[in-house]
Chains A and B, each alone.
Chain A
Amino acid sequence: MHLAALTLRDYRNYRILELEFPRGVIVLTGENGAGKSNLLEAIHYLSYLKSFRTSRDKEIVRFGAPYAVIDARFSDEQSHDFEVRLVLKDGKRFVRFNGDDVQKFQDYIGKLHSQFFFPGDLGIVTGDPALRREVLDLELLRLKPQLTKVMNHFRRAREQRNKLLKMIHPQPGVTRDNRELQQSFTAFSEQMVQSGAQLVRERLGITRVLDGLFRPLHRQLASEAGEQVTLDYFSQVTLDPPEGIAASYGEVLAAAAASESSLRYTSVGPHRDDMLFRLGDGRDLKRFGSQGQMRSAALAFRLALCELSRQRMKDDPILMLDDALSEMDDGRKGRLMELAGRYSQVFITSASAREVGQIKRAAGQVYRVANGRVEPY
């Protein structure tokens, strides 16, 4: 996948900006605050329909303008073109994909694959487990779009089950004696267990694949020599053997019955699982790792996601490295550039002239960003 053309109207500091991009490594340079990251944010927004910086779309519309528009043309490895128009207006988003209005954003997200990294982006390691579940599920859906049925089945069964928990236990710890409700509860629990177990099996599978891609990347990029980090799917349900996941899920649920009677929601299942980054001795990276270790792991994980897409879907995501080189030594910079150079299109921002000098040779194009304008350097 690569971005062939991008037009921004009233997006952040850009009144109007029209650009065409080649494949390969693209370097954006300019002072801090010039708007380099805003460009990457727009690409990220096209991929995920959200910003990596703000949850408030209003901030994205240029001050005083009624709405912001992003128009983009993408091209995949088979030279299929995709056109996207995104309008942000009054806190609402309107998306057009190849001329059709997108009704369900869920169907759109993931079509344009990009991966984004900036040095402060430790969220994938340190953030809420929901973030990592979301990433795993998104990758699963890219690989097997039909899994959306399983995910919806699980979510719906869980919602029905939660509703029944509240009906059976009108107050925490109070239980109504109602056979119909109990039997319905058993039936929806079974539905949740079956679809939930399938989701866990799929997540476990993709975590193992990602772990295999992640380890060598991490070895190449880690600053501290010899450190090892692995990816590990974490669940209260016993994961081994995979055929036993449903049975184990059922048992764990049964054991949680007493606590669920006071919680009145489903406390066990894939909606509570996590993917952990573990240090060589098995300890959790986010609790026991250094900032540097977490940073390397976050970057290697982003690259592992790129590799997954490249190997399994024969489609390179657009890789965006925002100021990612600034805190690396020259050896790691070189290794990262080497890895990045394999992808169809990579955007790298840098405020440092020295850095631009170092990577210029690998870059297809260098742009200078200043005063709301982007020009070839």
Chain B
Amino acid sequence: MASLPEALSELIHRLSRLPGIGPRAAERMALAIIDKNPAEIAALADALNDAVARVTHCPHCGCLSQDNRPCRVCDDNARDRSIICVVESPLDSIALEKGGGYHGLYHVLGGAISPLSGVLPEDLRISELLARVGDGVVSELILATNASPEGEATALYIRQELDELHERRAAAGSSESLARIRVTRLARGLPSGSQLDYTDSATLQSALDNRTEL
């Protein structure tokens, strides 16, 4: 991009490093930015800096929050504190919130176990989860990790850890909170609007296993 002013090509270069933005889109964005009035661009720059400086992770659940405060979900007294939905990333909790049907709390793991990518259980917020679960309030854990091999294995891993935690507590004779916590996995089944004969056998089988009363 020899013909462009250096400052502009630098802007294009920076923009194109963002996910979902190719070189063409970056060019158009950059040209649109320099065409806007200065006040608007100053506001954009402020918003960028502000977001980076102030958006943090909720100290309880790991969801996105601001200024190290608890996130909106954790802060909301109307939420059911006895249920925790465990997800891989903050985006997953946002997706679930959009559904609007869940009223419990979240716990963000920060990924899934993947030895090939160098992610081991110690790199995830699993011990934090176990600490939360041990507080006596939580009665159900929904493991909503992805249906990928990594997500499934992570769910299994947490299940094993909970069983061990339960056994250790039982062995130590501590009786408080030891109604065994219910651990569930999101149901896998037919997507709405789908046809049976086009569905693979695994999905059909899990749809059958998880069938519901009409």
Q: Would A156 and B149 count as touching, CB distance under 8 A? A: yes
Chain B interface residue bracket vs A: 20 to 34
Is the Cβ of B115 less than 8 Å from the Cβ of A160? Answer: yes
By the criterion of a CB under 8 Å from any partner CB, how many residues of chain A are at the interface?
26
**In contact, B121 and A184 (Cβ under 8 angstroms):** yes
A186 at the interface (CB under 8 A from B): yes
Does residue A343 face the partner (Cβ distance < 8 Å to B)?
no
Q: Which of A179-225 contact B (CB under 8 A)?
A: 180-181, 183-184, 186-188, 190-192, 195, 198, 202
Report Cα–Cα, A163/B117, bound state, in Å.
Answer: 10
Residue-wise interface mask of B (121-161) relative to A, using a CB-CB cutoff of 8 A (1 in contact, 0 not): 11000000000000000000000000011101110110011
User: Which of A163, A180, A192, A198 touches B201 (beta carbons < 8 Å)?
Assistant: A198
- Taking each of A150, A187, A202, which has the highest tally of chain B beta carbons within 10 Å of its own beta carbon? A187
CA distance A156 to B115 in the complex (A): 11
Q: Does B1 have its Cβ within 8 Å of any Cβ on chain A?
A: no
B184 within 8 A of A: no
| In the complex, chain B residues whose CB is within 8 Å of the CB of A181 | 120
Contacts of B154 in A (CB 8 A): 187
A157 at the interface (CB under 8 A from B): yes
Supposing A160-B149, A160-B153, A191-B153 touch, asked if A184 and B201 sit within 8 A by C-beta, the answer is no
Taking a contact as CB atoms closer than 8 A, the residue among A144, A156, A157, A186 that contacts B160 in the complex is A186
Is B113 an interface position by the 8 A CB rule?
A: yes
The residues of B that contact A192 with a CB separation of less than 8 Å are 149
Shortest distance in angstroms between B52's beta carbon and chain A's nearest beta carbon? 33
A164 touches B199 (CB 8 A): no
Q: Which of A105-160 contact B (CB under 8 A)?
A: 144, 146-147, 149-150, 153, 156-157, 159-160
Pair A187/B113 contact, Cβ less than 8 Å:
yes
Residues in A whose Cβ lies below 8 Å from that of B202: 149-150, 198
| A167 close to B (CB within 8 Å) | yes
Nearest chain A CB to B21 CB, angstrom units: 19
What is the CA–CA distance of A217 and B2 in the complex, to the nearest angstrom?
Answer: 68
CB atoms of A180 and B199 under 8 A apart? no
Which chain A residues have a beta carbon within 8 Å of chain B's beta carbons?
A: 144, 146-147, 149-150, 153, 156-157, 159-160, 163-164, 167, 180-181, 183-184, 186-188, 190-192, 195, 198, 202
Which residues of B are interface residues toward A (Cβ below 8 A)?
113-116, 120-122, 148-150, 152-154, 156-157, 160-161, 198-203
